[in-house]
Amino acid sequence: MGGPGFGGPGGMFGGPLLGGGFGGRRIGLGGLLLLFLISFIFRHFFESQPVRPSPNASPYGAASRYDGSNGTASENKEVQFVSFVLDDVQKNWDRLLPQKAGVPYRHAKLVLFRDYTTSACGAAQSATGPFYCPADEKVYLDLGFFDELANRMGAPGEFGQAYVIAHELGHHVQNLLGIESKVRRLRQANPSISNPLSVRLELQADCLAGVWGHSTQQRNIIDQSDVAAGLDAVAAVGDDRIQKMGRGHVSPESFTHGTSAQRAEWFRRGLDGGGIAACNTFPN
């Protein structure tokens, strides 16, 4: 959730968590049963990264590689869920990206950490939230983030969590398509349009997350109540809502990710369209 940075990490929010919440429901029963049956397969997605533990770090705070031996039952379940969603989203892009864009999909890696780690895009802290780093093609996720969602932000639902992961992988798709690098160059050439370009990039990542949501609908993993809750989750992380909750006022000129209405609209476009063509936030 640190801003996209264009050479820095790309995430869902423009800064540290300020409030808001995902009102998400749980993914359908069939999807959850599948999760627990096959999640052990996906351990190979995790990359070892040095982590600087804090005094309240988890038992595995000295290294982000997670093998389930030191974690609590809830942490193990969280890792299983993340690995399932990561794999499912990437399998969808394995099929769609070559088919619709003529570009082979290269799998992103996932780095799990507690409190602090480093990436090719710089330092990552728990307050940064999940983010994608185009320089090393990895998604970084603090294992405490979903606790934050559930306990502080009042958002325990799995569909909202799945949307977070799909959004970050949307940034990976943008990187593979060359969109991220083009936008980075435009921002460097004209800093005055940096924020509007960032908004377009983030809205496109929301739409690409919706494309994965479309595939889950087709496979009956989610139902319409999940879709409605997912749209609520997307709206919950709009710049206007986060700024209102964090500052008490809204500053549209500082938006980097889009309003609640914009984010929900573009997620819905991906959800309904089911393909990359639905996600053109750069028409000009």
How many Å apart are CA 142 and CA 111, to the nearest integer? 8
pTM of the model: 0.78
Q: Residue 150: pLDDT band by 50, 70, 90 thresholds?
A: low
Find, among 236, 265, 249, 187, the residue nearest to 24 by Cα: 236
Q: Which DSSP string do the residues of 41-64 spell out, in sequence order?
A: GGGGGB---BB---TT--TTTTB-
Percentage above 70 pLDDT, the chain: 69
What's the maximum distance between 2 C-alpha atoms anywhere in the chain?
51
| Angle (CA) 281 95 31, round 5° | 95
Contact (Cβ atoms closer than 8 angstroms) between residue 197 and residue 218:
no
Q: Residue 276: pLDDT band by 50, 70, 90 thresholds?
A: very high
Find, among 193, 175, 182, 208, the residue nearest to 280 by Cα: 208
The predicted-structure confidence for 20-72, as pLDDT tens digits, reads as follows 222 333 344 344 333 333 333 333 333 333 333 333 333 222 233 444 445 67
The predicted-structure confidence for 170-216, as pLDDT tens digits, reads as follows 999 999 999 999 999 999 999 999 999 999 999 999 999 999 999 99
